[in-house]
Amino acid sequence: MDEVIRKRYARKSAFLEWCDAEGLKVIGGYGVEDLRTAPLENWDRLGGPAAYCHLEGSQGFVGAMIGEIPAGKNLKPMHHMYEEQVLILTGRGATQFWSEGSKDPITLEWQAGSLFSPPINCKHQHFNGSSQEPVRFVAVNNAPLIVNIFHSPDFVFDVPYEFKGRFSGQKDFFSSELKPGELEDRVVNFIPDVDAVQLDYHPERGIGFSRLGIHLSGNSMVGHIMAIESGTYKKAHQHGPGAQVIVLDGKGYSLMWPPGGKFVRFDWKRGSLFVPPEGWFHHHFTTSREAARHLALRRGLRKVGHPWMPTVSQYEGGHLLEHENEPPEIRAMYEEELKKEGVPLRMPPIERRS
């Protein structure tokens, strides 16, 4: 029986078996150094080069597909039963969306830094707007969860059902107006430039920390944009699995560790991707002279799984670790890293309780 159990746990997930069958290249580990230069291979279903980032912290819920549109070309039309949020990394172009309720497709033009989310199962097609340079994008999606549940590519990619409660061909659907939201701070269906979004200051989560939560296209997936000023780091916290953290600007590193376990360090820069595993403490440290700016896209699914409260202090029953309770070697390590970069520490000394 022990041998049977070992073989059962050693087998790949249905999603990874599907990737093998599709010829979709898979990238593993705790992070990707640079999404803009990661090696890709042709994925016939997409009609262009791609690779799927199935990192340790994704845990079968959410992952990130890196895709490329060759210069002067377009990808194949596609619709699917999983949700995704698309960040344009390099280049410019447009995406067309079709609905039964509209005769003509809706065209959304975008550039590097644009963020949008195709409504679930809406037919869409990506076009490169340049005849000289390729477009590279990353599509964070919950394909692992959906494929692991249904085990049927025909269902995931070929069912024509329209979720009209989310999208029914409205010409103004991809508005960039940031409206008050319920699941997150703002509801918005198109962000022309994630670097230009104004954030709200939240010093209770760390001196120099700002954030704005976003919810796109009525999907269950959500996200947030955050910034961590030079010479500062965010308080350690715990949350659920699958948050894909994409570095938009700046340089630094993150420490991740399970309670009572060893640190896993990931050094990041603009274009990096990393995913903290569920329940692991993690800090984000800025070592550059400019502020670090991250985009975190995650599964959503409120009230599903452990009720993590990453913005509530442990003193109040939450999962935000105050600086006075963090391992003492963390601050010492950060001070050494700042000295190497010639960047001053902009945080007060830690006053530990006796």
- Contact predicate 133/71, CB 8 Å: yes
- The pTM of the full predicted model, rounded to 2 decimals, is 0.95
What pLDDT score was predicted for residue 11?
A: 77
Q: With the C-alpha atoms ordered 174, 218, 50, 36, is the resulting torsion angle positive or negative?
A: positive
pLDDT tens per residue across all 354 residues of the chain: 676 566 666 678 999 999 999 999 999 999 999 999 999 999 999 999 999 999 999 999 999 999 999 999 999 999 999 999 999 999 999 999 998 877 789 999 999 999 999 999 999 999 999 999 999 999 999 999 999 999 999 999 999 999 999 998 899 999 999 999 998 999 999 999 999 999 999 999 999 999 999 999 999 999 999 999 999 999 999 999 999 999 999 999 999 999 999 999 999 999 999 999 999 999 999 999 999 999 999 998 888 899 999 999 999 999 999 999 999 999 999 999 999 999 999 999 998 876
Write b or e for each residue in 55-85: b if 16 or more Cβ atoms lie within 10 A of its Cβ, otherwise e.
bbbbbbbbbbbbbbbeeebbbeeebbbbbbb
The three-point CA angle 80-127-71 to 5° equals 130
Non-local (6+) Cβ contacts of 3 within 8 A are none
**What are the CA-CA distances from residue 150 to residues 15, 69, 205 (Å)?**
10, 29, 39
What pLDDT score was predicted for residue 5?
A: 61
What pLDDT score was predicted for residue 303?
A: 82
What pLDDT score was predicted for residue 26?
A: 98
What pLDDT score was predicted for residue 9?
A: 67
Domains along the sequence of the chain with CATH: 2-158 (2.60.120.10), 192-341 (2.60.120.10)
Enumerate the β-bridge partners of residue 88: 137
What pLDDT score was predicted for residue 352?
A: 84
DSSP state of 332: H
